[in-house]
Structure 1
């Protein structure tokens, strides 16, 4: 099965998701998204395919979120996507894409839905 995980090795949830994929007998393509971020278009597609809103896919607790003024009223999806593309630390993690769908695997057990 073709599986891609947008992974942050410093994140426990991301490490647990990767372990669950491997325990299911798969070796995914690992994209360390902080080093190799998805394009804005790919990010937008992943979010849409996962059924989330852009706001649900952004790490609003990240200090940079407030520093960039993204917590101001009226900030729309385009501004959030632009910020996430420019600053991948703002992308919530881990996203996993398989032929069965895309999920933001928080909690990591959600990955089982698409394996």
Structure 2
């Protein structure tokens, strides 16, 4: 099974999710450090749709100025544009496999798509 994780090595949840993927037999893993290789707006839309969530659900508030900027009230396209411009606004980690996409918070959510 192919799997891609959008990973932030500084995040404990992301590291634990990555370790779970690495320990799963048969997983062909791609790791995208999204702070170095930012998301395209179209990819964000695809991930959110496949995960069944909206941009607000994936908006990282902790450690960002998103709340102060009022981003929780912004339109979906405006949030996605801000996320594409500054990937720190995207909650982490996202994982995509042949079985679907999940925002893996908590990290155990990855089991749904393995």
Same fold (TM over 0.5): yes
Shift of 1:66: 3.6
CA contact (8 A) 2:64 2:88 kept: no
- The match for 1:106 is 105
CA shift, 1:44, in A, is 0.8
Q: Where does 1:79-90 land on structure 2 (aligned, <5 Å)? A: 79-90=78-89
Alpha-carbon RMSD: 1.3
1:47 & 1:66 partners in 2: Cα distance? 20
Map of 1:57 onto structure 2: 58
In 1: Cα distance, 2:49 partner to 2:20 partner: 24
Partner residue in 2 for 1:11: 11
**TM, length-normalised to structure 2:** 0.92
> What is the alpha-carbon distance in structure 1 between the residues aligned to residue 8 and residue 34 of structure 2?
7
* Of 15-24 and 61-70, the range deviating more from structure 2: 61-70
Q: After TM superposition, give the deviation of residue 68 of structure 1 in Å.
A: 3.8
Q: Which moved more, 1:54-63 or 1:32-41?
A: 54-63
**CA deviation profile, 1:15-74 (whole Å, cap 9, x unmatched):** 000111111122410000000012100011101100111100110233321454424xx4
Q: Equivalent residue of 1:60, what SS? A: coil
Distance in 1 between the 2:90 and 2:109 partners? 17
* Structure 2: segments with no counterpart, 5+ residues: none
| Matched positions, count | 113
5+ unaligned residues in a row in structure 1: which ranges?
Answer: none
